[in-house]
Amino acid sequence: MVYAPVETEDREELRAIQEERLRETVEHAYENVPFYRERLEEAGVEPSDIESLDDITKLPMTTKEDFRDEYPDGLFAVDDEEIARLHASSGTTGKPKIVSYTDDDLDVWSEVVARSLKAGGVNPGDTVQNAYGYGLFTGGLGLHYGVEELGATVIPIGSGGTQRQVELMTDLESDALSCTPSYALYLAETAEEMGYDPQELPISTIIFGAEPCTEPMREEIEERLDVNGIDIYGLSEIIGPGVSNECHEAQDGLHIWEDHFYPEVVDPQTGEPVEEGEEGELVLTTLTKEALPVLRYRTGDLTTLNYDECECGRTMVRMDNVTGRADDLLIVRGVNLYPSEIEHVVLEIDGVAPHYRIDLHKEGTLDVMELTIEKAEEFDGDDEELRDQIMTRLENVLQFTPDELELVDHGGVARTEVGKVQRVYDHRE
Ligand code: DLL
């Protein structure tokens, strides 16, 4: 069962909806956002040149820098009186990106989150404990209104206060938890320390997102808590959580709610579209946003699109789970690698806990990588053997080994109770 009939729409029909909405969005951006009018004029494009989806490549792309340059409201397309809410996404550097919503935008957002929850196996009448942060971050309120829209009960607990989360979850018999994947693991640990068996907690689904989660990490969460781990994706610039979501039937890629967000995948270096089925950077165009229409936004997130039929019956395209961003790429002594590749290799080894950090320094002109990995709590083997096993696997799979590998005991890698986990610390200039 789907939340909205359009989720199983015939693809030809869907295309017609997208084309009409694309034309309206381009017109709206051109008429109401001086930034877009200038960009389109520079590119020699008139809104009337955009007739079909194939014309989308004529449009200039929007970048994170554009959001920063136009801070705070240069990309808004409606008058202040029409704006019902503002959110912000804090980057690691500089000013946050401010995003806005009209009443209708908020309705669309609630609907796509409701679709996402339903796809993830949450049903009307269920109780959802929402442990995403409330406030300027889109996770808290985004999930909150989606749960209500679905007709489920929301517990607006927000992030942190983990012991209380565990107690309330038990007392109120929450069916689902929404939080980041790293927090799900932290909650499992805390429950254990409190004397609970995490597998006996009442939740059967975790809707996790806002940060990457590799397959071995997902397996760890599912096993430790005896739950279905469902991936929800989104970003503030486009709407927030609910751009795409996994279906619990297949758990194989995230259905993008394509009647509202049009996806493309491009080569992160050249910006040119990649062949269908190839990995690249996700580019999204909003199709219905009023307050903040965004044309061809370069998300920085790496993924692949899959147009094959899905066993759940939804016809909307699936994107691969995002385990890396184009700008996560670490270049260490000329070797290119993504932190997620290291995570993938290391977490498959028994005796290793899903907690690690990567530190990069310079020694003279040389890059030095230090990898700190936590041993599983129950590990009682030989540290040297475990170290050798990790090094050998890294060498075999990635042809790369860190300069230093430190194994630490349970709790040796700091946990993140609030916000997004940080695993890479680059101390190079
Ligand atoms: O993180 C929105 C969100 C809230 C999504 C709650 C899911 C759940 P931002 O703070 O603007 O918005 O950060 C967006 O986070 O470009 C990705 O790099 C990353 N991200 C979001 N969801 C996922 C996911 C929210 N499921 C940025 N897997 C995005 C991997 C994700 N990365």
Closest Cα to atom 16, ligand 1: which residue? Answer: 235
- Cα of 289 vs centre of ligand 1, distance in Å, is 19
Average pLDDT, the chain: 96
CA dist 340 → 142, 398, 407 (Å):
27, 11, 19
Together in a domain, 169 and 27: yes
More confident position, 326 or 223: 223
Together in a domain, 293 and 407: no
Together in a domain, 176 and 254: yes
Together in a domain, 334 and 323: no
- Cα of 210 vs centre of ligand 1, distance in Å, is 3
Together in a domain, 126 and 198: yes
Position 243 confidence tier, pLDDT thresholds 50, 70, 90: very high
Mutate to test the pocket of ligand 1, among 132, 138, 213 (most ligand atoms within 8 A of CB): 138
Together in a domain, 358 and 261: no
Identify the pLDDT of residue 93.
65
Domain count, the chain: 2
| Domain CATH number, residue 306 | 3.40.50.12780
- Ligand 1 pocket list (CB less than 6 A): 89, 132, 138-139, 209-212, 231-236, 240-241, 299, 301, 322, 325
| Domain CATH number, residue 372 | 3.30.300.30
What is the maximum alpha-carbon separation in the chain? 69
Average pLDDT over residues 216-229: 97
DSSP-based three-state secondary structure for 361:
strand
Average pLDDT over residues 356-360: 97
CA distance 132 to 40: 38
Together in a domain, 347 and 277: no
pLDDT tops 70 at residue 67: yes
Residue 195 domain boundaries? 1-328
CA distance 334 to 164: 47
Q: Domain boundary at 328, 350, 365, which?
A: 328
Phi, psi of 36 (to 5 degrees): -70, -35
Q: Domain boundary at 272, 305, 328, which?
A: 328
CA 279, 121, 6, 290 torsion: positive or negative?
A: negative
Position 92 confidence tier, pLDDT thresholds 50, 70, 90: low
Q: Domain boundary at 264, 295, 328, which?
A: 328
Together in a domain, 6 and 82: yes
Average pLDDT over residues 58-77: 96
pLDDT tops 70 at residue 306: yes
Together in a domain, 317 and 390: no
CA distance 90 to 7: 32
- The percent helix, strand, coil of the chain (3-state, each to 5) is 35, 25, 40
Together in a domain, 405 and 316: no
The partner residues of 235 in beta bridges, in order of sequence, read 240
211 Cβ neighbours under 8 A, 6+ residues apart: 180, 181, 182, 420, 421
- Cα of 246 vs centre of ligand 1, distance in Å, is 14
- Cα of 325 vs centre of ligand 1, distance in Å, is 11
List helix spans (H) across 180-237.
181-193, 215-225
- Cα of 234 vs centre of ligand 1, distance in Å, is 5
Together in a domain, 309 and 363: no
CA distance 77 to 361: 44
pLDDT tops 70 at residue 167: yes
Together in a domain, 211 and 315: yes
DSSP string, 76-124: --S-GGG--EEEEE--SSSSPEEEEE-HHHHHHHHHHHHHHHHHTT--T
pLDDT tops 90 at residue 94: no
